[in-house]
Structure 1
């Protein structure tokens, strides 16, 4: 296997773990400080910097603390060159089911997310 895939799988794993535990230290390591976070699932553009996004994560109860089972999946990983890649992933937090397009750049020997563009749907209530 191309070693870049293993590096990307590890980076995405850190992303999933950071979200699962609301671990902003881990997320700050996988996100580039200048990364953007963007979504239009609710009809308007939500665009946040890491200075805005990470404090939001820090105050929310983690999925792990609420006993939510992990629903993490790597759908695909694509490389645009030796230092640029995109991972399409799926995960869940509460009732929200996310599809994330994570664009990575490799700087100083490690892959970091430079852009997270995502969509979410709400899980259907069970009877």
Structure 2
């Protein structure tokens, strides 16, 4: 989808990291080393901000009543709260929990972007068939 310009390979890499982070057992506090977790927090934050900015621009091009836009707007309403927090304390628990929280948001942003892309494709197909006998 031309409306959202994030590099597809970045999305694949981020999605793989999101899956890994969300699989961590937070109840056990068994997170990897603090430095590697903080690096993931930074990576998710940067990517999430970019995704949120691009998704917001794309959503403005959809009618307000489209389900894809409504869902994306709900996800976007969470983005500023989670993506602009100060870095977590340099403890395994704080960093691990922040990584999981941001991973959930990035996962939701990726899903919303996919739905918005599908909606653009559907609308484009409808527009191209209008006026065709």
TM-score (norm 2): 0.29
Whose helix fraction is larger, Structure 1's or Structure 2's? 2
Whose strand fraction is larger, Structure 1's or Structure 2's? 1
- The structure showing larger relative contact order (alpha-carbon pairs under 8 Å, at least 6 residues apart) is 2
Largest Rg, 1 or 2:
2
